[in-house]
Amino acid sequence: MSLACRKFNGHNDRPWLVWLHGLLGCGDEWLPLVNLCAQHPSLVIDLPGHGDSTDVRVKDLLEMSCLLSETLAEQQISKYWLIGYSLGGRIAMYHACYGDNQGLCGLLVEGGNPGLFSQQERNNRLEHDRNWAGRFRSQPIEQVLSDWYQQPVFSDLLPAQRQQLIKVRRHNNGNGVANMLENTSLGHQPWLVPVLQQLALPFVYLCGENDKKFQQLAKRCALPLQTIPHVGHNAHRADTAAFVAVVNHFLSLFNV
């Protein structure tokens, strides 16, 4: 089994950029960035429960990491960088720490949480995610999305931006989103910070200047923070050009 994915700029002989979207997203969201990184071959992936991988289900992050490896093998990709946003960033970090990371050249993580330190925090998060999953399964998705984007992490969104996200993401399958939310919950994720700090891989943690929560998290965990000016949690969507400029500069440091 493998995930739905699409290749771009495959004629280039550089290591691949593998793009992992966030919860409620899909691989196509990355296309404006892929076009601005055309000097690199890119693979955009639809995560389980999303896009053309709606019918794919994983039971945990380990199974997700194995499925990522199987997808890369099927696509004959042996050298690659992982670029992940939010849930995709957590998957990228977990894969680097505990997955089959042979061939992984480096990590670019946007607003991904490296884990919760205490069992109480993890239990609280599991309950939080179960509640949202129950709503995604049982209520009209537009209604759930309207409340989802009122969460503090999205506080920088203007009303029109919030409505646009709801419009784009109302086509999601509620059951698929719910399964992924529960099974890969931050409450199930290990505390990755000690392993991340020992990785002998290039790693940058990208964060919107207005995303105070994740900036503080990055500083507290001593992650290699790089901020994107004037934007919030979803920096790559809010200012694609600024985000790509940072990505391309970071890659250039390693002759990529």
Please tell me the distance from the alpha carbon of residue 207 to that of residue 225, in angstroms, as a whole number: 7
Closest by CA to 175, choosing from 123, 125, 127, 139, is 139
Q: What is the mean pLDDT of residues 99-123?
A: 96
pLDDT at site 13: 87
What is this structure's pTM? 0.97
**pLDDT bracket for residue 119 (50, 70, 90):** very high
- Answer yes or no: are the C-beta atoms of 73 and 32 closer than 8 Å: no
Please tell me the distance from the alpha carbon of residue 68 to that of residue 80, in angstroms, as a whole number: 12
Residue 207 has pLDDT above 80, yes or no: yes
Please tell me the distance from the alpha carbon of residue 184 to that of residue 186, in angstroms, as a whole number: 7
pLDDT at site 46: 98
pLDDT tens digits, one per residue of 217-246 = 999 999 999 999 999 999 999 999 999 999
Residue 1 has pLDDT above 90, yes or no: no
Say how many C-beta atoms besides its own lie within 10 A of residue 198's C-beta: 8
Residue 25 has pLDDT above 70, yes or no: yes
Q: Which residues pair with 179 in a beta bridge?
A: none
Please tell me the distance from the alpha carbon of residue 130 to that of residue 186, in angstroms, as a whole number: 11
159-to-146, 149, 163, 183, 239 alpha-carbon distances in Å: 11, 10, 6, 31, 17
Please tell me the distance from the alpha carbon of residue 122 to that of residue 116, in angstroms, as a whole number: 6
Region label for 10, one of left (φ > 0), alpha (ψ between -120 and 50) or beta (otherwise): alpha
pLDDT at site 256: 60
29-to-23, 109, 165, 221 alpha-carbon distances in Å: 12, 16, 11, 29
The answer for residues whose C-beta is within 8 angstroms of residue 228's C-beta and 6 or more apart is 206, 207, 208, 209, 235, 239, 242, 243, 246
